[in-house]
Amino acid sequence: PRPGDGICEHATWSRTGITVAGGNGVGDGLNQLDQPFGIFVNENQTVYVADFANHRIVKWDRNASTGQLVAGGNGQGDHSNQLYYPSDVTVEQDGTVYISDGYNFRVQKWV
């Protein structure tokens, strides 16, 4: 690190990771993911995952063992309640969710 880059020059990092979403094998259960792509973490450490191959967005509260469906989950498609390989997600403070809906070539807003 260089002085002024915002990282303490004496910072130490954990050498092991902690699973915060998924980790129960590939699948479409709410405790599973299939090719997780983009993530968004809010100020409460809630993790939103663009679950690419399951065509959905799943939310994982801090320390949760199961996620909650936020968007999609109705199979792949181009209807307003469907996603088709979502690749990224962001969430506004008011809970509005914006999704990069890859193979539909669109950005969707879910309220």
**Could you read off the pLDDT tens digit of each residue along the chain, which spans 111 residues?**
455 666 677 778 788 999 999 999 999 999 999 999 999 999 999 999 999 999 999 999 999 999 999 999 999 999 999 999 999 999 999 999 999 999 999 999 999
How many other CB atoms are found less than 10 A from the CB of residue 102?
18
Question: What value, to the nearest 5°, has the Cα angle with vertex 81 and ends 45 and 93?
Answer: 30
Instruction: Count how many domains the chain has.
Output: 1
95 contacts 62 by C-beta, under 8 angstroms: no
Domain that holds residue 9: 1-111
> What is the pTM assigned to this prediction?
0.87
* Domain of residue 47, CATH code: 2.40.10.500
pLDDT of residue 52: 98
d(CA 37, CA 22): 12
Strands (E) in 1-101, as ranges, are 36-41, 47-51, 56-60, 68-72, 86-91, 97-101
